[in-house]
Amino acid sequence: MGRISTIFHFIACLVSSLLSCQISAQEVNYHEHIEPIITTHCTRCHQPNNVAPFSLLTYDDISPRAKFIGHVTKTKYMPPFKADATFQHYKNENILTPDEIQLIQDWVAGGIVKGKKNAKKIPDVHAVTSDMASETNHVNHKTESLDIGMQQRFILPEKGKEEFRFFHIPVNNKTEKYIQSIRFIPGNKKLVHHSRVMTDTSGTTAGIDGLSESDTAIYKFQTNPLADPFLFGWVPGNDQIIFPEGTGKKLYPGTDFIFNMHYSPSPIIVSDSSSIRIQFADKPVEREVITLSLKEDNISNLPFLIRANTSPVFYMRSAMTEEDISLISIMPHMHLLGKRFKAFAVSPDGELIPLVNIPDWDFNWQMTYTFKNYIHIPKGSVIYAEAQYDNTSQNPRNPTRPPKDVSYGWGTKDEMMNLIIYYVKYRVGDEKIEL
């Protein structure tokens, strides 16, 4: 009888526990439980005039989409964060915990209860502005800023055709400054496919404004080396970079910005007027941020040709580092055939240093991943990357049916393999500094 009594006691406890869970699920409400999750993980993009297609700032915004939100969070489709956090951790990780996912499920199942706002516990979603350099992103609003963009609105000359254009944006700065943060603002979110921001100090690029990449006149502007051939790159999901305190990207006197814009095809005549927002460091900058770019020329198993009906892997490597460096962030880049991407460094003594692993590449959401702490790369190390492509009919993103051979190019139907790294010269103790 003792064993039977124990079994009945176990069943009673289990039923009691399930009832308790059911009651707690019914008590989950928006203001107390859901609003903090949405504010932390979603409203950075889901607000007016931002990259997401709808706002999630209020209960009235969210409640009609509650079941949809429950589905995309349960399947981990949202919030989008593609890097494997077990391979390396990042400051800008945006991953819901199992408890947060369950709270959303319980809220939907419990009737999407609004509840009462508790000002002491709930962050004010209305304080989240469309300014990506807000307090949410830890940028000081008192710093000097610069909002600058294309000199005139660009009207695409043809319908249904991809366009690659250069635009010249004079800054007219008289003194040397250091950039603390960069945010790119696409003027036409449906049209702008990606953009690369470069800087020139030669004073010879004014005539490049509006020129097509296919225009032979472009070559005369490529005879002088650029001051920075990659200041910043914008793709969906990568709207801003913030450099650590005490560091910055150098902006030389007499700098001109150059936008290299890629526009998607449009069935109607459309226009664009994109811009960038620069915030300058308000404190002395002791360490200059430098860009390391690995490109198709760094691939070891050339040619970079992805033949139809194949799924090849390409490998690239950097030269040995000439000094100890500290990595701030990393950004991989591929197009629609991309399947997975991994990068790591190997030190002179054989230590493998994980940098980024994206097991399921998503062309529509690419990010600059900022490390939680500086990543120390010792002198004599080599940075490696490997990328797999899927040029088969089983790839739902493959833009050609049937598949055809694809090689390097900036067009959507072409392919690329890039790795962009921001770093500073190493200082002892960098590994312990939180960015």
What are the pLDDT digits (tens) for 167-199? 999 998 899 999 999 999 999 888 888 898 999
Look at residue 236 in the predicted model and tell me its pLDDT. 75
Spell out the residues 6+ positions from residue 195 whose beta carbon is closer than 8 angstroms to its own: 184, 186, 233, 234, 259, 260, 261, 262, 274
Q: At 73, phi and psi to the nearest 5?
A: -85, -35
Q: Which of 50-59, 303-312, 408-417 has the highest mean pLDDT?
A: 303-312
Spell out the residues 6+ positions from residue 283 whose beta carbon is closer than 8 angstroms to its own: 245, 246
Which pLDDT band holds residue 142 (cuts at 50, 70, 90)?
Answer: low
User: Is the per-residue pLDDT at 13 higher than 80?
Assistant: no
Look at residue 230 in the predicted model and tell me its pLDDT. 85
Look at residue 129 in the predicted model and tell me its pLDDT. 36
Asked whether 144 and 216 are in contact (CB, 8 A), the reply is no
Look at residue 125 in the predicted model and tell me its pLDDT. 44
Least confident of 41-55, 69-83, 278-292, 414-428: 41-55
Q: Which of 44 and 258 is assigned the larger pLDDT?
A: 258
- State the Cα–Cα distance between residues 422 and 230, nearest whole angstrom: 10
- Which domains does the chain possess? 21-127 (no CATH), 132-286 (2.60.120), 289-435 (2.60.120.230)
Look at residue 26 in the predicted model and tell me its pLDDT. 58
Sign of the dihedral defined by the CA atoms of residues 127, 133, 138, 140, in that order: negative
Going by C-alpha positions, the residue among 384, 396, 391 that lies closest to residue 415 is 391
Our measurement of the distance from residue 412's CA atom to the centroid of its chain's CA atoms, rounded to an integer in Å, reads 18
Beta strand 287-288 pairing with 247-251 = parallel
Look at residue 128 in the predicted model and tell me its pLDDT. 40
- State the Cα–Cα distance between residues 423 and 435, nearest whole angstrom: 12
Asked whether 140 and 182 are in contact (CB, 8 A), the reply is no
pLDDT tens-digit readout, 417-434: 999 999 999 999 999 999
User: Is the per-residue pLDDT at 312 higher than 60?
Assistant: yes
Mean pLDDT along residues 121-140: 42
pLDDT tens-digit readout, 228-270: 888 998 887 787 899 999 999 999 999 999 999 989 888 888 8
Token output for 181: 């943060």
Which pLDDT band holds residue 320 (cuts at 50, 70, 90)?
Answer: very high
Asked whether 387 and 310 are in contact (CB, 8 A), the reply is no
Least confident of 5-14, 98-107, 403-412: 5-14
Our measurement of the distance from residue 337's CA atom to the centroid of its chain's CA atoms, rounded to an integer in Å, reads 19
- State the Cα–Cα distance between residues 274 and 184, nearest whole angstrom: 8
Which pLDDT band holds residue 349 (cuts at 50, 70, 90)?
Answer: very high
User: Is the per-residue pLDDT at 158 higher than 60?
Assistant: yes
User: Is the per-residue pLDDT at 7 higher than 60?
Assistant: no
Least confident of 75-79, 131-135, 390-394: 131-135
- State the Cα–Cα distance between residues 147 and 167, nearest whole angstrom: 16
Distances (CA, A) of 133 to 61, 145, 260, 326, 346: 23, 10, 23, 24, 35
Three-state SS for 145?
strand
Look at residue 351 in the predicted model and tell me its pLDDT. 97
User: Is the per-residue pLDDT at 6 higher than 60?
Assistant: no
User: Is the per-residue pLDDT at 15 higher than 70?
Assistant: no
pLDDT tens-digit readout, 224-236: 788 888 899 888 7
Asked whether 70 and 25 are in contact (CB, 8 A), the reply is no
Average confidence score pLDDT of the chain:
86
Mean pLDDT along residues 125-152: 59
Going by C-alpha positions, the residue among 31, 30, 62, 64 that lies closest to residue 46 is 62
Asked whether 158 and 204 are in contact (CB, 8 A), the reply is no
Three-state SS for 197?
strand
Q: Which of 276 and 118 is assigned the larger pLDDT?
A: 276
User: Is the per-residue pLDDT at 348 higher than 90?
Assistant: yes
Tokens 């390396």 sit on residue: 88
Which pLDDT band holds residue 214 (cuts at 50, 70, 90)?
Answer: confident
Q: Which of 127 and 28 is assigned the larger pLDDT?
A: 28
Mean pLDDT along residues 280-296: 93
Which pLDDT band holds residue 291 (cuts at 50, 70, 90)?
Answer: very high
Three-state SS for 227?
coil
Asked whether 139 and 133 are in contact (CB, 8 A), the reply is yes
Look at residue 293 in the predicted model and tell me its pLDDT. 92
- State the Cα–Cα distance between residues 207 and 205, nearest whole angstrom: 5
Going by C-alpha positions, the residue among 276, 166, 261 that lies closest to residue 221 is 166
Which pLDDT band holds residue 24 (cuts at 50, 70, 90)?
Answer: low
